[in-house]
Amino acid sequence: MTETIKEFVQPDEKIIEIEIERLRPFKNHPFQVKDDKEMYLLKESIEKYGILNPLIVRPVPDGVYEIISGHRRKHAAELLVYRKVPVIIRVMSEDESILSMVDSNLQREKISFSEKAFAYKMKNDVLKKQSKETKGQVDHKKPKKRIVEIISEDCGESVKQVQRYISITRLIPEFLQRLDDELISFNPAVEISALKEEEQKLLEAMDYAQAVPSLSQAQRIKKLSKEQKLTLEKMQDIMSEVKKGEITRVTFTNE
């Protein structure tokens, strides 16, 4: 399995080899590097064919380089005890590097809910910042696009879905992990993300009832929170309800 990310060499760029020890991970990189089946296949591919797509890096102080794209390739190369890897060096500002890192990594085949969520949030934060900085230079004759609309067009998601993803970054880590592990569905998680951090003790209620919230249950919990009436007992009562799919049905024939 080779990486599906394709890097394009610009006219004034060259592919060179750099020592792995001079490479640094991207600050607050939202995409996880795991020793899973995909990593095993990537390592196998690199061992057989080499690194076909060079890493994209940018120079930072102290003579080292920050990885924009290629964290998984770098890790696979380390497992194979490579000393050097092919890279393309690009000089970028902090904001440019964040946007490039997010856009290139979103091309990956498999991305977890949390990875996509934090990637969208990083892009959203940078575009908001840039929008404030260029406020006086905007052509008011042209209709102004909202930030989420720009992200929506760039990433091929609906505006509503982009907003949902950004909202789940407010989930506490334990709950976010349950979402990534597919122990809870995406839409209920979006509703739960509206709760205050301390209210997300819903995890305790889930353990108490040995259940995960359905969409309607999550919506009712969110409503109680909005009305400032949410307690752990009420969450446990809601979570202890028998869901439709759990009811045993008996069918009687005319006979």
Q: What is the pLDDT of residue 204?
A: 67
pLDDT by residue (tens digit) across 43-92?
999 999 999 999 999 999 888 999 999 999 999 999 999 999 999 999 99
Q: What is the pLDDT of residue 248?
A: 44
Q: CA-CA distance, 175 to 26, in Å (whole number)?
A: 25
Are the beta carbons of 77 and 51 closer than 8 angstroms?
A: yes
Are the beta carbons of 64 and 20 closer than 8 angstroms?
A: no
Position 139 pLDDT exceeds 60: no
Q: CA-CA distance, 178 to 107, in Å (whole number)?
A: 24
Q: CA-CA distance, 237 to 255, in Å (whole number)?
A: 40
Task: Say which amino acid occupies 15.
Answer: I
Q: What band does 223 get if pLDDT is binned at 50, 70 and 90?
A: very high
The reported pTM is 0.82
pLDDT by residue (tens digit) across 79-117?
999 999 999 999 999 999 999 999 988 887 789 999 999
SS (HEC) of 175-231: HHHHHHCCCCCHHHHHHHCCCCCHHHHHHHHHHHHCCCCCHHHHHHHHHHHHCCCCC
Beta-carbon contacts of 40 under 8 Å, excluding residues fewer than 6 positions away, are none
Q: Kindly report the average pLDDT of the chain as a whole number.
A: 86
Which residue from 3, 5, 4, 15 is spatially nearest to 90, judged by alpha carbons?
15
pLDDT by residue (tens digit) across 230-252?
988 888 888 888 765 544 444 55
Q: What is the pLDDT of residue 4?
A: 46
Angle at 107 between CA 19 and CA 115, to 5 degrees: 85
Are the beta carbons of 179 and 189 closer than 8 angstroms?
A: yes
For 109, list phi and psi in degrees, rounded to 5. Answer: -65, -45
Q: What is the pLDDT of residue 225?
A: 94
More confident residue, 220 or 107: 220
Q: What is the pLDDT of residue 90?
A: 93
Tokens at 114, concatenated: 């949390």
Burial class (CB in 10 A: 0-12, 13-18, 19+), 198: exposed
Q: What is the pLDDT of residue 255?
A: 52
Q: What is the pLDDT of residue 244?
A: 56
More confident residue, 1 or 111: 111
Q: CA-CA distance, 179 to 118, in Å (whole number)?
A: 14
Angle at which helix 113-133 crosses helix 159-167, to 10 degrees, equals: 110
More confident residue, 243 or 173: 173
